[in-house]
A and B are shown apart, each in its own frame.
Chain A
Amino acid sequence: MKEQWRLLQTGFSTASTNMAVDRAILVANSEGKVPPTVRFYGWTPPAISIGYFQSLTDEVDLDACKKLGVDYVRRITGGGAVFHDKELTYSIVIPESHPEIPKNIMNSYGRICGAVMKGLKHLGIESEYAPINDIVTGGRKISGNAQTRKLETVLQHGTVLMDVDVDKMFSLLKVPNEKIKDKLIADVKQRVTSIRHILGKDVRFEEVAKAMKKGFEEEFHVELIEGKLSKGELALAKKFEKECFSAKDWNHRR
């Protein structure tokens, strides 16, 4: 019989709720209270998340965010700034000691990205892992990923781009050199793609989630059983949201 992991479909939430929920699952899993968990979610309003080591005001035009109604949050994972709009975001939380998770961090990125790649294949998209933390199709990025390991537990979250608006993205992100902004935007347009662009049609969030579920099940030889956040996780998420992810101290700490 296949090992059973939990699947959470938590729908669309704010940036601070989304990051609080991922962290709450990490803590609950580290305490042995919940099984390994795969979660699919989206962002409303659209939001920018920045990596743990990034400076918020260096990376994000906060006035533009306010004007366009875009949320922002600092992640507990490293990596770069991401504009979360038309995408499916996944997270996986699993003990470091689980036999399916390589001890080597880079290898574990490759393994978890393997699940996303298998999911994309179910949508008819061939892709490959592009270290350090991207998945590309036809040489263009379709997914970015970031992992942390805390409390002997792995949390990796990442994006699957369903559609992308590079111009809007760059109206929200700051660039190191304004003089070359136009060139940078043109470069990024060449280097980034989406499910819509590849398939030439819109694919619904639910359909992407269904494909990703299969991808994770195949990659890890498990069965994902749909579940809910526990009462403990909900309480923890509320606490993390208030004390951390919606707090100025956290978001502006660098």
Chain B
Amino acid sequence: MQSRSIYKVPNGKLLKIFLQYDEKRNLIEEINLMGDFFAYPEETVELMENKLKNTLLEREHLLKKIKSIIKEHKIQFIGLDAEGLTQGILMCKP
């Protein structure tokens, strides 16, 4: 199943997500994070997209995973945060 979302992060930027997911297993198959936010270093967003594959589309699980990727790769977001990213991804689900 393919889906998109547009989410204005509170006090932040506009996040646009393309998500392909396995409906039965509730898992991310492919994800693109787009928008007018900033991330340092920029290349870590592609890494985030890869690491989110096969992640369960459930709030607590997703948030924990995103926070651990941010910590592990020392990603610094401006205009976006782990909560905003989680919310944007979950908004792709009907």
The chain A residues found within 8 Å of chain B, CB to CB, are 51-55, 58, 76-81, 105-106, 132-133, 146-150, 176, 254
The chain B residues found within 8 Å of chain A, CB to CB, are 6, 12-14, 16, 32-42, 45, 76, 78-79
Contact A78 B37 (CB under 8 A): yes
Which of B6, B32, B33, B45 has a CB less than 8 Å from the CB of A176? B6
Which of A53, A58, A150 has a CB less than 8 Å from the CB of B37? A53
Q: Which 3 A-B pairs have the closest CB atoms?
A: A80-B36, A78-B38, A55-B34
B79: chain A residues within 8 A (beta carbon): 132
Contact A53 B78 (CB under 8 A): no
Contact A148 B36 (CB under 8 A): no
Cα separation A76 to B14 with both chains bound (whole Å) = 18
Nearest chain A CB to B58's CB is how many angstroms away?
Answer: 25
B16: chain A residues within 8 A (beta carbon): 55, 58
A53 and B34 contact, Cβ closer than 8 Å, known pairs A132-B78, A132-B79, A176-B6: yes
Which of A79, A176, A254 has a CB less than 8 Å from the CB of B38? A79
Nearest chain B CB to A115's CB is how many angstroms away?
Answer: 19
A-B contacts at CB below 8 angstroms, number: 54
Contact B33 A53 (CB under 8 A): yes
Contact A79 B36 (CB under 8 A): yes
Contact A78 B34 (CB under 8 A): no
Instruction: Identify the closest chain B residue to A78 (Cβ).
Output: B38
B37: chain A residues within 8 A (beta carbon): 53, 78
Contact A105 B40 (CB under 8 A): yes
A106: chain B residues within 8 A (beta carbon): 78
Instruction: Identify the closest chain B residue to A50 (Cβ).
Output: B36
Contact B76 A78 (CB under 8 A): no
A254 and B41 contact, Cβ closer than 8 Å, known pairs A106-B78, A132-B78, A132-B79: no
A–B complex contacts, Cβ < 8 Å, 25 sampled: A51-B35, A51-B36, A52-B42, A53-B33, A53-B36, A53-B37, A53-B45, A58-B34, A77-B38, A78-B42, A78-B78, A79-B36, A81-B36, A105-B40, A105-B78, A132-B12, A132-B13, A132-B79, A133-B38, A146-B38, A147-B38, A148-B40, A148-B42, A149-B41, A254-B32
Instruction: Identify the closest chain B residue to A81 (Cβ).
Output: B36
Instruction: Identify the closest chain A residue to B32 (Cβ).
Output: A254
Contact A53 B35 (CB under 8 A): yes
B14: chain A residues within 8 A (beta carbon): 80
